[in-house]
Amino acid sequence: MVEAGIIVKDLQFSWPNGDTAIQSCSLAVPKGEFWMLLGTNGSGKSTLLRLLAGLLAPQSGDIRVLHPVGFVFQNPDHQLVMPTVGADVAFGLVEEKLPTATVRARVKEALDAVNLSALQLRPIYALSGGQKQRVAIAGAIARHCEILLLDEPTALLDPDSQLDLVASVRNLVKSRGITALWVTHRLDELNYCDGAFLLEKGLLVDQGEPERLKQRLMEVNRD
């Protein structure tokens, strides 16, 4: 039996106004695989990701996620808080009270993994959008996260930077055994994942081979 990094069973979540966002959702992401979460705006993709991260609490159901968990927002400016690249990657390690030498080693390891080792002293404001997303991912790597949750991280990027980032995340998943769930609406990004889920109005309506889901959505768009 394949071990899962993320397991969701019968998950239910409604907003305070009574609107249901997630309905009886059950899914599993195999450990060490890169899966994507698809759906139109308002389908519940970002809400589900926040439930997995513990940023929201469900009304019912069960969530089992390996820890620690790294979360990458659509806009990296919402989570990069320190003035330089190296300082921001190190920021998440403060609560672990690690020796200075260990922190430096983890920062270097993480920046090497996202090909930003030469920019450790670069001010955050001087980075491109793609570089900022890599810094956010490096912060999760520095914490040795088992799970990486990414909420449309390429939404603000140009096409070249978009595909470069998704390819980099796939390489990280495969080289480090991280389990990743990536929210997207861009069908070309499906070429990089191991599998995909499709949400409609909070319901999981399909899952499995990314190429099959890609063809399904292309046919719907043509209609």
Residue 209, φ and ψ in degrees, nearest 5: -60, 125
| Shared-domain flag, residues 121 and 214 | no
For residue 206, what are the domain limits? 1-67+146-223
Q: Which tens digits make up the pLDDT trace of 55-64?
A: 999 999 999 9
41: alpha, beta or left? (left if phi > 0; alpha if psi -120 to 50): beta
Q: Quick one: pLDDT band at residue 42, thresholds 50, 70, 90?
A: confident
24: alpha, beta or left? (left if phi > 0; alpha if psi -120 to 50): left
Mean pLDDT of the chain: 91
| Shared-domain flag, residues 86 and 137 | yes
| Shared-domain flag, residues 151 and 127 | no
Token pair of 32 as six digits: 């060490």
- DSSP letter for 30, please: E
Q: Is residue 123 part of a domain?
A: yes
Residue 220 confidence (pLDDT): 65
157 has pLDDT over 70? yes
Cis bond before residue 58 (omega within 30° of 0): no
| Shared-domain flag, residues 120 and 193 | no
| Shared-domain flag, residues 141 and 153 | no
Token pair of 222 as six digits: 């043509």
144 has pLDDT over 80? yes
pTM above 0.85, yes or no: yes
16 has pLDDT over 90? yes
Residue 221 confidence (pLDDT): 64
Which of 130, 145, 160 is at the close of a domain?
Answer: 145
Q: Which of these, 79, 77, 22, lies nearest to 52 by C-alpha position?
A: 22
Q: Which tens digits make up the pLDDT trace of 75-100?
A: 889 899 999 999 999 998 988 888 99
Residue 151 confidence (pLDDT): 94
Q: Is residue 57 part of a domain?
A: yes
Residue 214 confidence (pLDDT): 87
Q: Is residue 127 part of a domain?
A: yes
Q: Is residue 86 part of a domain?
A: yes
Residue 1 confidence (pLDDT): 57
What's the structural domain count of the chain?
2
Which of 96, 128, 145 is at the close of a domain?
Answer: 145
**Cα angle, residue 141 at apex, residues 49 and 171 outer, rounded to 5°:** 85
| Shared-domain flag, residues 22 and 131 | no
Query: How many Å apart are CA 66 and CA 146, to the nearest integer?
Result: 6
| Shared-domain flag, residues 45 and 55 | yes
| Shared-domain flag, residues 53 and 152 | yes
Residue 223 confidence (pLDDT): 53
CATH classification of the domain holding 215: 3.40.50.300
| Shared-domain flag, residues 89 and 117 | yes
